[in-house]
Amino acid sequence: MITYNFSGKVVLVTGSSRGIGAGVLTAFARAGATCVLHFWDDPAGANREDAEALAAELRALASKPPVYVFAGDVRDAAQVEALMKQVKDQCGGLDVLVNNAGIIKDRTLKKMTLDEWHAVIQTNLDGVFHCCKYGAEVMRDGGRIVNVASVAGLVGFHGQTNYAAAKAGVIGLTRVLSKELARRQITANAVAPGVIQTPMLGEIKPEVMTEYLKQIPAGRLGKPEDIANAVLFLATEESGYITGQVLPVTGGWV
Ligand code: NAI
């Protein structure tokens, strides 16, 4: 196991009450980072309870990381601006921003509704734009942005016009940011997960999942920890000369 030390660094992971985001934030917490657990207070969901339970778990770790819990919807620019102000005022600034919040609404082009198209673009692409725009304003020089894209943004999969367009957009945005922010020694990279075991997979049909599994050379689905390992690597000071890149984490699948 690689031992990282992020003590003194303020790390914000969007949508980190569960799934990949929770795994990534937990890895930063173990490495001593000041953690900002951000969750969507969706009235239809259990995100608030999940967020409070995860915050308690993180605070009980041996590394005793400071943990802040902030709510917000990444689709809403004003909420994201307010979130970043909270981070600046209460945590003193931002060192690492991981744009993880995302949704999936798969359907073929023919059947996809306009609402399904807009929902995915607004969350997965507009949300990343909002967080990068307002996050960069409060980020300290030498900071790190890691966007959670997807191999779906590199390869087109059936039934994912909305998702693939959003994730390919995130990859393009990441490449531009790497150039715009380089003069502040801020890097911007993306990870492109393959199929990772999280609640999001509940939305994929079992027969499609069986097909995916057959194609993964590693012979297993990924875990949030697999993504966390890649994100922490890209967030280290030592990765400062790596920017504008996309790192697939797929068990060799794509
Ligand atoms: P998940 O559904 O477990 O977690 C997504 C998180 O985003 C949840 O905490 C949710 O509350 C939050 N979120 C959704 N809409 C939001 C909004 N408007 N504002 C703030 N937060 C919001 O899913 P998972 O699998 O952990 O996904 C995390 C990221 O990884 C997503 O960007 C997803 O597209 C990406 N990804 C996941 C893969 C997988 O196989 N699970 C594969 C490739 C990429």
pLDDT digits (tens, 9 = 90+) for 181-219: 999 999 999 999 999 999 888 877 888 888 889 999 999
Q: From 20, 155, 157, give the residue whose CB has the most ligand 1 atoms within 8 Å, as the site to mutate.
A: 20
Give the alpha-carbon dihedral of 91, 95, 17, 219, to 10 degrees.
Answer: -160
Task: Report how far ligand 1's centroid is from the alpha carbon of 183 (Å).
Answer: 31
Nearest ligand 1 atom to alpha carbon 123? 18
Tell me how far the alpha carbon of residue 53 lies from the centroid of ligand 1, in angstroms. Answer: 18
Residues 83-137: tens digit of each pLDDT = 999 999 999 999 999 999 999 999 999 999 999 999 999 999 999 999 999 999 9
CA–CA dist 109, 160 (Å, integer): 8
| pLDDT tens profile 140-184 | 999 999 999 999 999 999 999 999 999 999 999 999 999 999 999
Strands (E), 67-175: 67-71, 94-99, 139-148
Residue 62 has pLDDT above 90, yes or no: yes
Q: What's the predicted TM-score (pTM) here?
A: 0.98
So what CATH class is 10-249?
alpha beta
Structure tokens at 172: 């393009």
Atom of ligand 1 nearest to the CA of 221: 40
What residues are annotated to the active site?
Answer: 163
| Other Cβ atoms within 10 Å of 107 Cβ, number | 14
Measuring from atom 8 of ligand 1, which residue has the nearest CA? 15
Q: What angle do CA 44, 228, 160 make, to 5 degrees?
A: 55
102 Cα–ligand 1 center, Å: 4
C-alpha angle 114-105-168 in degrees, rounded to nearest 5: 85
The pLDDT, as a whole number, for residue 252 is: 97
Which residue's CA lies nearest to atom 3 of ligand 1?
Answer: 19
CB atoms inside a 10 Å sphere around CB 129: 17
CB atoms within 10 A of CB 66: 15
